[in-house]
Structures are given as C-alpha cells and as structure tokens.
C-alpha cells in the first residue's frame, strides 16, 4: 500500500522538476502515455481518483500526469 503523504511529496517534487525544465525531461512523453494507459484499468484508476480527492485537485494536465507516473515509479 502506498503512503499518500509520501506519494504527494514525491509528486510535488516531480511536478516542480518538470515545471523548472519546461517538461523537457527524458521520459516525459512516455510517462504521459503510460498515465493514459494506467487509468484504463479500473483498479489503478481508483488510486488516481483517491489521490485527486485527497489533494482536492484532479490530474488534468500532461505535466501532472507525467509527475504522477514518475512519482509512482519512485515510490512503488
């Protein structure tokens, strides 16, 4: 089970890194595409929904999607 606080901390780090580099980061496009595939699985999509509800902000941008996947890779 993933600790939501730890995940959020990593998500924020990844998002800031992407922002600071204008999304010009190796694996960025692949992470966005992986997120699109990730949410097709109802069980995995539920975690995305829970995370969005917890932080009271849905994942709506490519940068957020990539940050989510980079955080997931680091934490999991």
By residue range, what is the domain housing residue 50?
Answer: 4-75
Long-range contacts of 8-17 (CB under 8 A, 24+ apart): 8/51, 8/54, 8/55, 10/70, 10/71, 10/74, 10/75, 11/51, 11/67, 11/68, 11/71, 12/67, 13/71, 14/66, 14/67, 14/68, 14/70, 14/71, 14/74, 15/63, 15/64, 15/67
Looking at the structure of the chain, the number of domains it has is 1
**pLDDT for residue 1:** 81
pLDDT in tens, 14-71: 999 999 999 999 999 999 999 999 999 999 999 999 999 999 999 999 999 999 999 9
Does residue 76 register a pLDDT over 90?
no
């Amino acid at each position: 089970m993933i600790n939501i606080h730890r995940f959020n901390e990593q998500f924020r780090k990844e998002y800031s890194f992407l922002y600071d580099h204008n999304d010009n980061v190796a694996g960025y496009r692949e992470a966005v595409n992986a997120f699109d595939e990730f949410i097709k699985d109802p069980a995995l999509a539920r975690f995305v929904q829970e995370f969005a509800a917890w932080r009271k902000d849905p994942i709506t941008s490519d940068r957020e999607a990539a940050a989510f996947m980079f955080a997931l890779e680091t934490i999991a």
